[in-house]
Amino acid sequence: MKRKPIFVALFAASLILLFATRPTQCFAQIDIHIHTATNAMESHIHGLTGEAFGDGQGRPDVGAQLYRRYCIGCHGPNGDGNGENAMWFDPTMGFAKPRDFTLGVFKCRSTPTGMLPTEDDLFDSITRGFVNTNMPSWRPLTEQERANLIAMVKAFSPRWQAEKPGAPITIPPETAPTVESILHGRELFDKIQCWKCHGPEGRGDGPSALTLTDTKGNPIRPYDFTTGERFKCGASNQDLYRIFMTGLDGTPMPSFSDNIKPEEAWDLVHFLRTLQVTLKTRELATFQTWLKGHPNTLKPIGQEAP
């Protein structure tokens, strides 16, 4: 019975601790607010149905619970990209701010500019992650968990209730990466003036590169092809095709679908691969072989007509 006073004291101490800490901000920081009226957001991906809130039983795998475990530190309790860590991401050093889901504007889509991405686009984005940003690849999560998270992403913006995602653009089969294709792509790069931002060698040093800002007003840099690193929205030729034919919404990168014919688009893809001088691609090899046999025949890119 000597034990009793110790237990009582510890008991009281634990009660005091609980009461004292309860009203502090520590609790509030992890509350999730949802702006949409309905909680019944769902996603349908790969034959799975993802749920944002489930049946309200607080199942640990539904989107809201997973969001709270994995996503809230950056994307914030309101889904607007203002997580507690977001203020430390410095855009001037190349750290993009976290995505604001409340706008319903996404970079990596297979749908035309101005339209919502498909659920598969969002699923691929979180599976792949975004290179050179703080957004990791969430592949170790199960497919069901990722589907639930996509439902949660949708729950943050009323746009998903008002609109349907657009129809994905049709990508024709890739043409052969011949020298003619590459040279035609080079002409397009010059004529459409991609170099204004990306620079004549694709280094991201074009005349307009330093003043670029994203829709939120944060500085943003154009992709530097010479690094050879993976694109934000994938790494294959198909992904590259999609990038300039749908544009990266929310950034200065526009859609060129009105101005480039689908067959011509492959020519541009092949040329862009030759700008990635540190990556061993067949396009680069073809182009370099041709250049060796035809030295000094190409007009430099970026000479504007007076």
Partner 1 sequence: MLSEFVDGKRLAGRLLPSSFFMLSCMILSFIFIDAKPAYTLPLSHPGSVRAIPAFARKYGLPCSACHTAWPELNWFGQAFRDNGYQLMNDRDSPIWQNPSYFPITFRITPNWHRENTNHQAVDSIPGGGAGSVLVDGTVRQHGFDLSGFDLWTAGTLFKNISFSLLPSADSTGAFHFENAFVRFDNLFNSRWVNLRFGKFELDNLISEKRFLFLSANGGLYQLYHFVPVGDSNTFGLGDNQLGIELAGHSINSYTRYSVSLLSSNDGQVGLPANRGYDTYLTFSQAFQLGSLGLQRFGAYAYIGERPTFSQTTSGAPIAGTGIGNKSFYRVGFSGDFFFGKFEFLPLYMHGHDNVFLGTATPSNQPLLPGARAPSWNGGFVETHYYYSPQLVLTQRVELIRMAQQAFPSTPAAAGAPSIPDNQGNINAYSVGFRWYPIMFSRAGLAWHSEFSIVKSIGTLPLSGNGNGLPPLSPTAGVWSNSVFTGLDFDF
Partner 2 sequence: MQARYVLLPVLFALTVTVASVGPAPAGTIEGKVTYTGTPPKMKPIDMSKEPTCAKEHNPPLLSENVVTGPGNALQYVVVYISAGEQSAQPPSEPVRYDQKGCMYVPHILAMHTNQPLQIYTDDPFTHNIHPMPKRNPEWNKSQPPGAAPIDTKWANPEFIEVKCNIHPWMHGYFAVLNTSHYAVTDNEGNYSLKGLPPGKYTVTAWQEQYSTQSQEVTVGPTGAASVNFVFKVTPYLY
Residues that bind partner 2 (CB under 8 A): 103-105, 112-115, 159, 163, 191-193, 196-197, 207-208, 211-213, 215, 247-259, 304-306
- Shortest separation between residue 39's beta carbon and partner 1, angstroms: 11
- Residue 132 interacts, among partner 2, partner 1, none and using kind-specific CB cut-offs from 5 to 8 Å, with partner 1
Shortest distance, CB of residue 249 to partner 2, whole angstroms? 6
Q: Is 70 exposed, middle or buried (0-12, 13-18, 19+ CB in 10 A)?
A: middle
Per-position b or e across 217-237, b if 16+ CB within 10 A of its CB: eeebbbbbbbeeebbbbbeeb
Residue 200: exposed, middle, or buried by beta-carbon count in 10 A (0-12, 13-18, 19+)? middle
Given partner 1, partner 2, none, residue 208, with its beta carbon under 5 to 8 Å by kind, binds: partner 2
Least distance (Å) from partner 2 to the CB of residue 226?
21
Distance between alpha carbon 22 and the CA centroid of its chain, in Å?
37
| 37-45, 138-146, 251-259, 268-276 -> range binding partner 1 (CB under 8 A) | 138-146
User: Residue 289 corresponds to which tokens in the numbers above?
Assistant: 């072989």
Among partner 2, partner 1, none, residue 65 binds (CB under 5-8 Å by kind)? partner 1
| Secondary structure (3-state) at 23 | coil
Shortest Å, Cβ 112 to partner 2: 8
Q: Which is nearer to partner 2, 183 or 253 (CB)?
A: 253
Q: Are strands 48-51 and 42-45 parallel, antiparallel or unpaired?
A: antiparallel
142 binds partner 1 (CB under 8 A): yes
Smallest separation, CB 161 to partner 2 (Å): 14
CB of 268 to partner 2, least distance (A): 12
Structure tokens at 194: 């991609």
Task: Give the residues across from 11 on adjacent strands.
Answer: none
Min separation Cβ 261 and partner 1, Å: 33
237-246 vs 262-275: helix axis angle to the nearest 10? Answer: 120
Query: What is d(CA 97, CA 90) in angstroms, rounded to the nearest whole number?
Result: 8
Tokens representing 234? 């994938």
Q: Are 81 and 218 in contact (CB under 8 A)?
A: no
- Within residues 115-134, the interface with partner 1 by CB under 8 A covers 129-134
Helix (H) or strand (E) holding 17: helix 3-21
Name which of partner 2, partner 1, none residue 172 binds, using a CB cut-off of 5 to 8 Å depending on partner kind: none
Residues 193-232 that bind partner 1 (CB under 8 A): 229-230
Minimum CB distance to partner 2 smaller for 24 or for 211: 211
61 contacts which partner out of partner 2, partner 1, none, CB within 5 to 8 A by kind?
Answer: partner 1
Backbone phi, then psi, for 250, in 5-degree steps?
95, -10
Q: φ, ψ for residue 213 (rounded to 5)?
A: -135, 150
Tell which one of 84, 163, 180, 263 touches partner 1 (CB under 8 A).
Answer: 84
Contacts of 36 (CB under 8 A, 6+ apart): 155, 156, 157, 158, 160, 161
Binding site for partner 1 (CB under 8 A): 3-4, 6-7, 10-11, 14-15, 17-19, 21-22, 26-27, 29-32, 56-61, 64-65, 68-70, 72-74, 83-86, 88-90, 93, 129-145, 229-230
